[in-house]
Amino acid sequence: MLTLEKRAQPSRAWSLMTPILAVVLTMIAGGIMFALLGKAPLEAIRTIFWDPIFGEFSFYYRPQILIKAGPLILIAIGLSLGFRAGIWNIGAEGQYIMGAIFGAGVGLAFYPADLWFIFPLMVLAGALGGILWAMIPALLKTKFGTNEILVSLMLVYVAEHILSAVSFGALRNPDGHGFPGSRNFQQYEAASNPEIIAGSGMHWGVITAFIAVIGAYILLNRHILGYQIRLTGQAPRAARFAGVRPNLLITFCLGASGALAGLAGLFEVAGPAGQISIDFNSGYGFTAIIVAFLGRLHPFGILLAGLLMALTYVGGDIAQSNLGLPAAAIQAFQGMLLFFLLGMDMLTNFRVRLKQAEAV
């Protein structure tokens, strides 16, 4: 009989292996899913994972990967801090939307002025919007002990309705012939977030994501706050004795993830998306949860996981146009990845032993 034996320490080797194993298993299960949909499984897998990087049109797709990885990494880095300490902000999508609305609102207020400080100001406003939205669950959690999972999630729906209200109302393009949606930032230079090197996909959001990765690594390994986050996650009781103030930690983790999600929203709306519109958000806030776990809540892991998840988005788009694979298949595929990842985690924390069934 197989039995599980708890490891005294999580295995480092398995900790590195499990994400890779999970990806492989997801490819197999995904292949079966594609086959059931009547698509050639190997071709679908190749289209998703190979073609964007090495295929014929990779010069076009490679920048796309960076564009999609930027917000995913940025949001996931913020989420990972809280997840490590058992603080579950799952409303990043809402903070992302509010960051975009705040930042875009500031930029549009200056239209058509051409001043150097407009874009930096928008960046600040974007972070602020995300922080304010994340402070609602933080405050309710610290003051009343209200569950942050449900509050942050409910606020996603509220933010979506606010987004639709402003695209039809306050931020609507006055020259837009009545169509919903704001002015396009790509045509307003002082407020736009263009590619820094043409054709690379590299914009300020991607650079901020890289900075966030390094910042989070330093925070977790070199700073007392990072130490407290790790301690709270591993031994909550010990953390309390060590003088960790839970309320401060909750406020910091939610605030930081809100700020990063807000920044991601602003960079997206001023750059690749171009304008505030009812559906400019594309679920990055939720996919980032998968990215955070796939990266094992480690900054560098998240960097790689973000790139991989961006690859499935870009590859999914190609598979959609070339093979007629439904867009939803990629979403199901990403969910499956999280399943396998969580299931495989057992190998990190437990040893599987073959044991003779005891005679009774």
Partner 1 sequence: MDLSQIDPILLITSIMVVSTPLLFAAIGEMVVEKAGVLNLGVEGMMIVGAIAGFAIAVESGSVIIGFVGAAVGGAILSLVFGILTQVFLANQVPAGLALTLFGLGLSALIGQPYAGIRPPQSTTLDVPLLSDLPVLGPILFQHDAMVYLSLFLVTATWWVLKHTKTGLIIKAVGENHEAAHALGYKVVKIRLLAIMFGGACAGLGGAYLSLIRVPQWTEGMTAGAGWIALAIVVFASWRPERVLLGAYLFGGIGALQLRLQAAGANIPVEYLSMSPYIVTIVVLVLISARKSNAGTAAPASLGKMFHATN
* Binding stretches for partner 1 (CB under 8 A): 4, 6, 37, 88, 90, 136, 140, 144-147, 149-151, 153-155, 157-158, 161-162, 164-165, 168-169, 286-287, 289-290, 293, 326-336, 338-339, 342-343, 345-346, 349-350
Residues 6+ apart with CB under 8 A from 291: 72, 73, 75, 76, 302, 305, 306, 309
* CB of 201 vs partner 1, minimal distance in Å: 26
Helix (H) or strand (E) holding 328: helix 327-349
Phi/psi at 205 (5° precision): -65, -40
Question: Minimal distance in Å, beta carbon 150 to partner 1?
Answer: 5
- Select from 263, 176, 178 the least CA-distant residue to 215: 263
Is the peptide bond prior to 112 cis by the omega test (within 30 degrees of 0)? yes
Q: How far is the CB of 86 from partner 1 (least distance, A)?
A: 9
Nearer to partner 1, 214 or 342 (CB): 342
Count Cβ atoms below 10 Å from residue 327 Cβ, excluding itself. 11
Matching residue, tokens 């975009």: 100
User: Between residues 161 and 245, which has the closer beta carbon with respect to partner 1?
Assistant: 161
Which residues, in sequence order, are CB contacts of 143 under 8 Å at separation 6+?
A: none
Q: Which is nearer to partner 1, 104 or 191 (by Cβ)?
A: 104
CA distances 240 to 138, 219, 224, Å, are: 19, 20, 14
CB of 166: closest distance to partner 1 in angstroms? 9
Of 218 and 327, the one with the shorter C-beta distance to partner 1 is 327
Q: Are 155 and 91 in contact (CB under 8 A)?
A: yes
Between 140 and 304, whose beta carbon lies closer to partner 1? 140
Judged by beta carbon, residue 49 or residue 350, the one nearer partner 1 is 350
Based on CB atoms, which residue is closest to partner 1, 146 or 184? Answer: 146
312: left (phi > 0), else alpha (psi -120 to 50), else beta? alpha
Phi and psi torsions of 5, nearest 5°:
-125, 125
Q: What DSSP character marks residue 316?
A: H
Q: How far is the CB of 247 from partner 1 (least distance, A)?
A: 13
For partner 1, the closer of residues 30 and 103 by Cβ is 30
CB of 126 to partner 1, least distance (A): 21
**What minimum distance in Å lies between the beta carbon of 289 and partner 1?**
6
* Residue 120 CB, nearest approach to partner 1 (Å): 31
- CB of residue 63 vs partner 1: minimum separation in angstroms? 26
Structure tokens at 127: 């972070």
Instruction: Pick the closer one to partner 1 by CB: 17 or 149.
Output: 149
DSSP state of 65: H
Positions of E strands within the chain: 2-6, 350-354
Q: How far apart (Å, rounded) are the C-alpha atoms in residues 136 and 155?
A: 9
- Adjacent-strand bridge partners of 6: 350
And the tokens for 316? 């999914």
